[in-house]
Amino acid sequence: MTPDPHLIVLSVGNTRTQIATVEEGTCGAAACFDNADLAGAVSRVVDLWGRKKPEMTGSILMADVNDPVATRLASAITGQLSEEVYRIGHDVPIPLMVRLDPETITGKDRLLNALAAWESVRQACIIVDAGTAVTVDFVDGEGTFHGGAIAPGATMQLKALHEMTDALPEVEFRRPQQGAFGKSTAEAMLMGVFAGIRGMVWRLVEQYAAEYGAFPMVIATGGDAETIFGEDELIDRIVVNLTLIGIAACARNALAGDAPDSSEDASSS
C-alpha cells in the first residue's frame, strides 16, 4: 500500500504565518512565525520536509491573505528545497460552493475555514475568526458559504484608539481584569474591545440563526479566539488551526479528483 503523501501546509496571514504537517489525513500542531521572520518560517519548512520518509511522496501547499509575504516565502522555500509550493486558489482549488454577489473576491482564509468547519461537522455552522480582523461567516446545511461580517480585530482596535486620539495609551491586547468596570484607562480600553467583539459575535449569531431558521453550531478560530471566547457559552468549539485543516482538505479533494457541485445561483471566488 502506498503511504499517504507527506504534506506541509502553510497559512500566511496579515501578521503571522502558521506551518504544520498533515500525516495520515490529520493536521498536526502548528508552529507560528511573525511575517517578518522569513528565515524562521523557511527553516521550519525545510526541517519538516526533511522528516519525509524516502518512500513517501510529498507536497507543500500554501494559502495566504498577504500576497507579498507569501510570494517571498514561496520563492525562498523553492530556493532551499527545489520543490514547488502550490498556492491554494491558484494551483489548487477550494472545493466549496458559495452564494455571494457576482465578482465578489473573498479571502481564502474565510473560505478555507468554512470548508474545514463544514467537513468536520457536516451541518450548518458559523465560523468566527478572531485575528487581525474578526470575521463571522455562515455555512448552511448543504455546505454552501453565504458570507458574513468583517470587523477590526482586537489589536487593530486598540491601535486605532491610541493612534487616533491624543491621550489614550498604547495597550497590548489581553483579557481584561474581572469586574464590571475598567478601573484604569488601559483596562477600560481592553474592556471595550473585549466586550465589543463578544457582543458583536452574539448579535450576528442571533441574526444568522433567525435568517436560517435554526441555531447553527459556532466554531471559533484565530490567534485571539481563546482569549476572547475561551469561557463563552456561545462557542461550541475552538479550533486554532482551522485554516490549515482547510488547506489539507483542499489537498485531499484534489488528490481524490473531487469538485463541488455547480448551481446557477452560486459562484466561486
The pairing of strands 26-27 and 16-23 is antiparallel
Q: Which of the four pLDDT bands, split at 50, 70 and 90, describes residue 129?
A: very high
| 22 pLDDT above the threshold of 70 | yes
**Which of 170-183 are b and which e, b meaning 16 or more Cβ less than 10 Å from the residue's Cβ?**
ebebeebeeeeebe
- How far is residue 255's CA from residue 243's CA, in Å, rounded to a whole number? 19
Judge whether residue 101 has pLDDT over 70: yes
Can you tell me the mean pLDDT for 152-160?
98
pLDDT confidence of residue 260: 47
Annotate 52-86 with b (16+ C-beta within 10 A) or e (fewer).
Answer: eeeeeebbbbbbbbbeebbebbbebbeeebeeebb
- Least reliable range by pLDDT among 49-58, 150-159, 222-231: 49-58
Cell of 123: 451541518
pLDDT of 194 reads 98
Residue 32 — very low, low, confident or very high, per pLDDT cuts 50/70/90? very high
Alpha helices per DSSP H over 152-184: 154-163
The string of pLDDT tens digits covering residues 186-226 is: 999 999 999 999 999 999 999 999 999 999 999 999 999 99
Query: How does DSSP classify residue 171?
Result: -
CA–CA separation, 196 vs 108, rounded Å? 26
258: helix, strand or coil: coil
Phi (first) and psi of residue 229, to 5 degrees:
-115, 10
Q: Predicted confidence band at 97 (pLDDT cuts at 50, 70, 90)? A: very high
State percent of the chain over pLDDT 90.
81
Indicate which residues carry an active-site annotation. Answer: 109
Q: Is the pLDDT of residue 261 over 90?
A: no
- Per-residue model confidence (pLDDT) at position 53: 82
Model confidence at 6: pLDDT above 70 = yes
Phi first, then psi: give them for residue 150, nearest 5 degrees: -130, 130
Residue 174's region, left for phi above 0, alpha for psi from -120 to 50, else beta, is beta
N residues, the chain: 269
What is the reported pLDDT for 203?
98
Question: Average per-residue pLDDT in the chain?
Answer: 91
Q: In the predicted model, what is the mean pLDDT of residues 151-173? A: 97
Across 13-67, where does the E strand assignment appear? 16-23, 26-27, 31-34, 58-64
Distance CA 34, CA 16 (A): 4
For 236-245, write each residue's pLDDT tens digit.
Answer: 999 999 999 9
Is pLDDT of 259 > 60? no
pTM of the model: 0.89
Whether the CB-CB separation of 113 and 137 falls below 8 Å is answered with yes
127, 224, 222: which is closest to 172 by C-alpha? 224
* pLDDT value at 4 more than 90: no
Residue-level pLDDT at 3: 52
- At 268 the pLDDT is 40
- Report how far apart, in Å, the C-alpha atoms of 237 and of each of 141, 173, 221, 231, 240 are: 18, 22, 9, 11, 10
5 pLDDT band, cuts 50/70/90, is confident
* Domains parsed from the chain with CATH numbers: 6-87 (3.30.420.40), 101-242 (3.30.420.40)
Identify the residue with better confidence: 56 or 191.
Answer: 191
Q: Yes or no: say if 11 and 247 are a contact pair by the CB < 8 Å rule.
A: yes
Report strand pairing: 133-139 vs 144-152.
antiparallel
Pairing of strands 31-34, 16-23: antiparallel
The yes-or-no verdict on residue 67 having pLDDT over 80 is yes
As beta bridge partners, residue 6 has 58
